[in-house]
A and B are shown apart, each in its own frame.
Chain A
């Protein structure tokens, strides 16, 4: 993934798999991102992507059980932000299938989470192991002089 250059700043956050922590995670990451001169639109995109990844960890990874740990980490390099969202939940049996737009294992859901992460971030990488957990890494590139 791009952005594996020298880290200029980083932060990490760990919390229980509770729905009220989704807002906490996206605001924390957006606040971190706003340390450099990103546009409001870019911050909105980051918020949606983080919200989707963290919601997935809670709903799917831990099946709505509140005792799981979700970890969100962000690194800033000259090139952009690398955001990682990890759970130690059930894992995804077929990642390529899960990432297809409109694919969902829940009939009440639209299957759009990965599609939004893909649309709003510059790179998306998902690794998962059954009964071990899932890691979503997203890269948001800086435009122009930002981050230098």
Chain B
């Protein structure tokens, strides 16, 4: 798994690539926490286009960051998940509490 960060205004864009499971979930959690501490974004834009596999360990990391941002008045937007990941987001109910966005950073141009 690889993670890439960039700040666009008040949005922290995080592009995740590879498989997010028990093996990689801790690293993802640590990297997200460190960049949230550092950047204090209003919105965490999680770009999952490059995620080829995810299970409940990955969903747990996303839900944890959602709770953190919500407490601080921010939010999490999930961008362009692959069908397998999208299905898990739906079954888990995460798609009801977070916005799922069809675009990546090039085309998003600021989400309200």
Contacts and interface: CB of A to CB of B under 8 A. Distances in A.
Interface string B32-63: 00000000000000000000010111011001
Nearest to B64: A108
B56 A22 contact: no
Interface stretch (B9-17, B18-26, B69-77, B103-111): B18-26
Q: A interface, by DSSP: helix, strand, loop or mixed?
A: helix
Contacts of B60: 108-110
Contacts of A109: 56-57, 60
A51 B57 CA distance: 10
Interface residues on A, range: 20 to 34
Given A47-B53, A48-B84, A51-B22, 18 more contacts: A19-B22, A22-B22, A23-B23, A48-B55, A48-B88, A51-B55, A52-B55, A52-B56, A55-B56, A55-B57, A112-B91, A112-B92, A113-B55, A113-B56, A115-B91, A116-B56, A116-B88, A119-B91
Interface of B: 19, 21-23, 53, 55-57, 59-60, 63-64, 84, 88, 91-92
